[in-house]
Amino acid sequence: MGKRNKLPGHYCWVCGRQRPNERFSGKGHSKHICQDCSKLGAEELAYLQNVRNLERCVTWEGFIRRKQRAEFETFLQHDDP
C-alpha cells in the first residue's frame, strides 16, 4: 500500500476550510474551530451548528431518510426559527 496524501492541519467545521495547526487555539483543536471562527458569538455558532445538523438529515437528492424524520421534526418544532 502506498502512502496516503494527508492534508496538513485540521478541518474547521464552521468555515469549512483546512487550516494549519497554528490557526487553532488550545480548545479549538478538540472542537475543530479555528481562531477566526472562535471569535464569532455563541448565538452565531449555535445557528451554524443547527444548520449543519439540518443538512445532515437531508440527502443530496433532497430526501429525508426515514430513520432521521423524527430528528428533523424536532428541528421544525424548535422555538428559535
Q: Tell me which residue range forms the domain holding 25.
A: 7-40
Residue 43 pLDDT > 70, yes or no? yes
Widest pairwise Cα distance in the chain = 51
Asked if residue 71 and residue 59 are part of one domain, the reply reads yes
Tell me the H-state helices in 1-81. Answer: 26-31, 35-38, 42-57, 69-76
Asked if residue 51 and residue 28 are part of one domain, the reply reads no
The residue that leads in pLDDT, 79 or 20, is 20
Cell of 7: 492534508
Asked if residue 53 and residue 34 are part of one domain, the reply reads no
Is residue 59 one of the residues assigned to a domain? yes
Is residue 21 one of the residues assigned to a domain? yes
Asked if residue 81 and residue 45 are part of one domain, the reply reads yes
Confidence of residue 81 (pLDDT cuts 50, 70, 90): low
Residue 6 to residues 31, 32, 37, 46, 51: CA-CA distances in angstroms? 20, 17, 23, 30, 28
The residue that leads in pLDDT, 44 or 7, is 44
Asked if residue 66 and residue 34 are part of one domain, the reply reads no
Tally the domains of the chain.
2
